Amino acid sequence: MKRIKVSFDTWVQLLGMLGVLGGLIFVGLEMRQNYEIALGNQHQGRTELRAALLMSPLEGNIDAVKVEFLEWEQQTEEQRQISVQIQRFRWALLENLFFQYNLGLISEDVWRQTEGNIKRWYGRCELREAMNLSLSNPAFQDYVNSFPDICAD
- In tens, the pLDDT along 97-125 reads 898 899 888 888 889 998 998 998 888 88
Burial (0-12, 13-18, 19+ Cβ within 10 Å), 38: exposed
Cα–Cα distances (Å) from 55 to 3, 91, 112, in that order, read 79, 12, 26
Q: Is the pLDDT of residue 130 over 80?
A: no
Q: Which of 125, 114, 138, 151 is nearest to 73 (CA)?
A: 125
Q: What pLDDT does 143 receive? A: 92
Query: Residue 153 above 70 pLDDT?
Result: no
Q: How far is 136 from 127, CA to CA, in rounded Å?
A: 18
Residue 28 CA: distances (Å) to CA of 14, 16, 25: 21, 18, 5
Instruction: Confirm if 102 and 139 have CB atoms less than 8 A apart.
Output: yes
Residue 146 in this model has a pLDDT that exceeds 80: yes
d(CA 104, CA 72): 37
Mean pLDDT taken over the chain: 83
Burial 9-34 (b: 16+ CB within 10 A, else e): eeeeeeeeeeeeeeeeeeeeeeeeee
CB contact at 8 A, 79 and 63: yes
- Residues 47 and 96: their CA atoms lie apart, in Å, by 7
Mean pLDDT of 76-99: 86
Q: pTM of the prediction?
A: 0.66
